[in-house]
Amino acid sequence: MVVINVSKDNFQKEVLEEKGVVLVDFYADWCGPCRITGPIIEELAEENKNIKFVKVNVDKNPDLAGLYSVFSIPTFIIFKNGQIVNQFMGALPKEKFLEELKKTK
């Protein structure tokens, strides 16, 4: 599955109305740790077809970042059926992402 870039215009449809698990990556282009986790998210999206992966650029969508109290990037929020079930931040290894995703089942 491809990682989808979302904005405030389509966040409702792509995340909140989605049935199942959605991992949202709040990031910025200039953020070093975000550049480290970007390829990990791409890899996870390819390997986990039952999970939707989306990215939100905080510079272009400050309202969304504020709404979800994103004060540090990268921040990852996992939604299940439109509800937040997990939130964590930082440049984590792939194994840690897998651990966090397992908590949603």
The answer to whether 15 touches 24, Cβ cutoff 8 Å, is: yes
The residues near 24 (Cβ < 8 Å, ≥ 6 apart) are 6, 15, 54, 55, 56, 76, 77, 78, 79
Tokens of 1: 């599955």
Question: Which of the following is catalytic: 23, 31, 56, 77?
Answer: 31
Q: Rounded to whole angstroms, how far apart are CA atoms 14 and 96?
A: 24
Q: Rounded to whole angstroms, how far apart are CA atoms 54 and 12?
A: 12
Q: 47 an active-site residue?
A: no
Question: Which of the following is catalytic: 22, 23, 24, 34?
Answer: 34
Q: 22 an active-site residue?
A: no
Active site residues per annotation: 31, 34
